[in-house]
Amino acid sequence: MSNLKKYPLIEMKGVTKEYSPRKRFFSKCQNKVLALNSIDFSIEKGEIFGLVGQSGSGKTTCGRLLVRLEEPTSGSICLNGEPINKLKGIGLKTYRSKVQMIFQDPYQSLNPHLSIAETILEPLVVNGLGNAATRREKVLHTLEIVGLSPADDFYDRYPHQLSGGQRQRVAIARAIVLDPDFIVADEPTSMLDATIAIQLFQLLTQIRKRFDMAFLFITHNLAAANYLCDRIAVIHEGHIVEVNTANNIIQHPEHPYTKRLIQVQPGFDFNG
Amino acid sequence: MALLSIKNLSIGYQTKAGMLKAVDNISFELERGRPLGFVGESGCGKTTIGMTLMGLLPGNAHILGGSIGFQNQDLIQLNEDQWRRVRGKEIAMIFQAAMNALNPVMRVDEQVIEAIVTHTPDISPADLDKRINELFDLVEIPRVRMKDFPHEYSGGMKQRVIIAMALACNPKLIIADEPTTALDVIVQDQILKEIKAIQKAMNTGLIFISHDIAVVASVCKDICVMYGGQIVETGTREEVFRNPRHPYTKALLGSYLSLDNELTVVIPDMRETPDLTLESGCCRFAVNCKTCSSACKAEVPQWIDISGSHKALCCDETIIRNSHE
């Protein structure tokens, strides 16, 4: 057991991802796009790790690799020291139950034909956990955790009957219902209003505290990352340019790109 | 005289659930050279105001009352023919989705030319050429890129073209509806600087709509905070953001995350969406208001003056007056 402790919860080592353009009959030979270039970082148990970058910087690709929606071109990703690249069958299924994802757009990430209960039940059913009664109990409990109470009230509703913030809470419930170790949250609040977003940040912090889950928080908003995260990595054109504690990144940025990001954050300076 | 003067404007959408009052009894005035910002959450009616000023409301929208005074005419009374002469020429709009606002099969310069020729059909080719070059210089797009198609442009450049199109006919009033929402922070910074510089240089009226209070604060001198179709607080940006009085403005500022620790985060407890089917004039914020009393639900909120320009809409005068917690 003492051996296990040395490994971070999740680790990316020299991960590179290339996209090659689709070959078409008339297309000229184009260069490959290097979405991620030799990415290294690790996330500890119970840590909220922020990945901040502009659109096209590769931050979403990073998240997709971590939940194995895509395969890296080279490099390795390890969970508790075990590489995940070669996982298949049962191994992959177990991995996917430990690593969950919350998507950006709650209007698209929930199936409109499934009730809230069915949405949250699905991971339990797929993984064959419990019987009908215990599953129902679990779903109601999870709904209470994410702040959709009274849970009975939401149980049989459909996504179209919920607001954006409530939908994102359902997406969070779906992600945490299997008690995963690690959640990738890809811009979970960029579609929501500020007053709703901050309540969701509060919820994520509570969940982290209660279940000791680790999060990768992907965002373009440095201020949001600063508020939520323990450490922040700044990603630019597929490279991680700087990793540091949130406080150090904001107070003592080193890389010129980080400085630039901080400088362009709109603030309340009433000049001009 | 004010460039634009809106009085008691109400707009409703006819839906299966009944008439939704998306804009409820709104009044404001806009001076040239004093950009006015509308801030509020999605569904608060800010885009509906923009669309009304462009005469582009969808079919199920009804103007329930009020007037829009612009250059000695009431825009509400205009028919479609008259609208065509105003829209784009006198009042122009910078749209939110730069990605979708351009025609993908037309070259970029042709789209700007189209905007000019539509309103000044007898312009000479030499003048047209000059004007096009002027516009592209103004929004800082290199002339070699003028003949490109929109897909060859980045998001920021597309938004610049949209700005050039809006400026094409020297409008008196520009409505910018979330012009930087689809862009990332670095490009947003450039576009905001550009909008500010152009507004100053041309001295046009500007209505700037955004959900981001800091973006609005950086562009506009006067602010209207909207909630559930009503303006709930209005004043200069210093008054509204340094000394907020309405509970919603406070919630909005409390949830704003900034890098300077000047603002402390206060997590609001706002779970409900406002009910737009309520009768006109009711306080829409009551469902989420911590300080709400039973009287609030029965009474009609009144404007409470804090200073000459700063006022807030509330049923309880003491809440607005004694706002320094």
Chain A environment of B188 (Cβ under 8 Å): 264, 266
Distance from CA of A145 to the nearest CA of B (A): 15
- CB contact, 8 Å: B258 with chain A? yes
Distance from CA of A4 to the nearest CA of B (A): 37
Q: Are B308 and B292 contacting, i.e. CB atoms less than 8 angstroms apart? A: no
Q: What is the ipTM of this complex?
A: 0.82
Does residue A3 surpass a pLDDT of 70? no
Report the C-alpha gap between A191 and A108 in whole angstroms.
11
* Structure confidence by residue, pLDDT tens digits, B7-24: 999 999 998 888 999 999
- CB contact, 8 Å: A161 with chain B? no
- CB contact, 8 Å: B252 with chain A? yes
- CB contact, 8 Å: B276 with chain A? no
- Reading the block at residue A134, the tokens are 């215990």
Chain A environment of B212 (Cβ under 8 Å): 194, 266
Nearest chain A residue to B239, by CA? A270
Mutate to test the interface with B, among A195, A229, A252, A265 (most CBs of B within 10 A): A195
Mutate to test the interface with B, among A268, A269, A270, A271 (most CBs of B within 10 A): A268
Report the C-alpha gap between B91 and B85 in whole angstroms.
10
What dihedral angle (degrees, nearest 10) is formed by the CA atoms of B203, B204, B209, B210?
Answer: -30
Q: Which of A25-29, A217-221, B7-11, B316-320 has the lowest mean pLDDT?
A: A25-29
Nearest chain B residue to A227, by CA? B257
**Helix A132-145 to helix A164-176 angle, to the nearest 10 degrees?**
130
Q: Do A268 and B192 touch (CB under 8 A)?
A: no
Q: Which of A85-89, A108-112, B10-14 has the lowest mean pLDDT?
A: A85-89
Give all strands of the β-sheet with A82-83 in edge-to-edge order: A33-43, A10-19, A74-79, A82-83
Closest partner residue to B41 (CB to CB) among A193, A202, A266 is A193
The pLDDT of residue B65: 93
Residue B318's pLDDT band (cuts 50, 70, 90) = confident
Chain A environment of B215 (Cβ under 8 Å): 266
Does residue A272 surpass a pLDDT of 60? no
Closest partner residue to A198 (CB to CB) among B213, B262, B265 is B265
- Segment A232-256 shows an average pLDDT of 94
pLDDT averaged over every residue in chain B: 89
Nearest chain A residue to B254, by CA? A195
Residue A24's pLDDT band (cuts 50, 70, 90) = low
Number of helices and strands in chain A (H, E): 10, 10
Q: Which of A41-50, A176-185, B38-47 has the lowest mean pLDDT?
A: B38-47
Distance from CA of A38 to the nearest CA of B (A): 24
Gyration radius of chain A's alpha carbons: 20
At a CB cut-off of 8 Å and minimum separation 6, what does B84 contact?
none
Report the C-alpha gap between A188 and A217 in whole angstroms.
8
* Residue A217 vs residues A190, B113, B270: alpha-carbon distances, Å: 12, 44, 23
For chain B, how far is it from start to end, CA to CA, in angstroms? 39
Q: Which of A19-23, B13-17, B112-116, B308-312 has the lowest mean pLDDT?
A: A19-23
What dihedral angle (degrees, nearest 10) is formed by the CA atoms of A238, A241, A246, A247?
Answer: -160
- Segment B113-122 shows an average pLDDT of 92
Closest CA to A223 of A256, A168, A264, A252: A264
Domains and CATH numbers, chain A: 4-21+32-263 (3.40.50.300)
Mutate to test the interface with A, among B259, B273, B289 (most CBs of A within 10 A): B259
Report the C-alpha gap between A67 and A91 in whole angstroms.
13
The CATH number of the structural domain formed by B32-54+80-220 is 3.40.50.300
Does residue A105 surpass a pLDDT of 80? yes
Chain B environment of A165 (Cβ under 8 Å): 271
- Domain segments of chain B as ranges: 32-54+80-220
Q: Are B218 and B186 contacting, i.e. CB atoms less than 8 angstroms apart? A: no
For A:186-215, CB contacts with B below 8 A are: 193-199, 202
Q: Which of A19-23, B261-265, B267-271 has the lowest mean pLDDT?
A: B261-265
Residue A197's pLDDT band (cuts 50, 70, 90) = very high
Distance from CA of A254 to the nearest CA of B (A): 16
- CB contact, 8 Å: A262 with chain B? yes
Distance from CA of A77 to the nearest CA of B (A): 29
- The count of residues in chain B is 325
Q: Do B255 and A224 touch (CB under 8 A)?
A: no
Report the C-alpha gap between B253 and B266 in whole angstroms.
8
